[in-house]
Structure 1
């Protein structure tokens, strides 16, 4: 069973030193990290300081390195960002409606109810770990499969 509105799982950034050898295979080149990240996650949240520092060529590479359904959620900043459907400015109001911060709201039952409500309304729904907690992210991935998303 597949849902028109799956849980889009991700972390704040894909660069986490403690993921080396734990999530990312040993020896994986730095320029392959985002592509590998996208094999497990459907979104990434980028703080303004991170995405605003990226050059046009870096943005182009990021977009090329990810699958069409992947989403970049951006903390609002002062710079302009790429005009691409996969890039979303995650304003406070938008985030309140579409983002579940799993680190601050770890109750999986509550998350499941929220996910069901979003799916019923066919609205995008993102579950993001600011800390990059792989254990918590895996729990949400399992929940997503159990719910049929």
Structure 2
């Protein structure tokens, strides 16, 4: 681990990311109900990543939160997905599920050095997810942020902070995140705080209110609202990257929601 310091193209794809600042996707690619309404009937499970990565432009990997993967696995993911695709990785929970965050250095190093650099240009933000019971303590949290590396294997790292306790809804937290080049995860969940930083270098959205009785999870008008926000964020003099994941709620609707957002953004035919 390095020392810490302060257009999609595929012959079988109907997705064309004409704005490389925008990534839209889902959480993971292995989910039984998707084999009824997203993946073609009879598609081999081993081909699901290949298929999903040609309908969407990003995937957030949850498995890295629970387990340690080998470099060869990250290399395989890189090779199976088209140019321009990106993976966001959830950092291993051993780094964030602890009473004293300042003691997370070894766990952070094990995760960052596990081979994630094999994703190369397809490595998106790393998501550090904290327990809903984790209260904001400025000193300890700053000590954690100071441990996060800026790069690994020559790749610049981007860090998204998924904090879930209402005590983080304070300008002090946002200022600390900004100081260390990190970005708060913004969610529309009614269970967790929605924290955004208008000055951040990128935006990370997790949409968690999909409804099972709506084909796209969110009604088209709601998706249009998010599309307008994405356009604003990625346009103008300070155009910045944005990552949007349909991640929870009625999970079976997530792929359709993501594809509808891509369609409304003009990034999918």
Cα drift, residue 20 of structure 1? 0.7
Gaps of 5+ in 2: 1-16, 93-106, 128-159, 162-181, 187-201, 211-217
**Cα distance in 2 for residues equivalent to 1:86 and 1:134:** 20
Structure 1 residues 41, 67: closer, same or farther in 2, change over 3 A? same
Q: Show the counterpart of 2:190.
A: none
Q: Show the counterpart of 2:244.
A: 127
**Cα distance in 1 for residues equivalent to 2:43 and 2:76:** 17
Q: Show the counterpart of 2:223.
A: 108
8 Å CA contact 2:22–2:243 kept in 1: the answer is yes
3-state SS in 2 of match to 1:20: helix
TM-score by length of 1: 0.80
Deviations 1:72-108 (A, max 9, x none): 1012234124222311313214344422222249633
Determine which structure has greater relative contact order: mean sequence separation of CA pairs < 8 Å that are 6+ residues apart, divided by chain length: 1
Mean CA deviation greater in 90-99 or 79-88: 90-99
In the alignment, is residue 86 of structure 1 matched against residue 128 of structure 2? no
**Cα distance in 1 for residues equivalent to 2:209 and 2:20:** 23
* Coordinate RMSD, CA, aligned: 2.7
Kindly name which structure, 1 or 2, has the bigger radius of gyration based on alpha carbons: 2
Cα drift, residue 139 of structure 1? 2.6
Structure 1 residues 85, 6: closer, same or farther in 2, change over 3 A? closer
Cα drift, residue 28 of structure 1? 1.5
2:78 to 52, 60, 63: 63
Cα drift, residue 49 of structure 1? 2.6
Task: State the 4+ residue runs in structure 1 displaced beyond 6 angstroms.
Answer: none
Gaps of 5+ in 1: none
Q: How many residues align?
A: 146
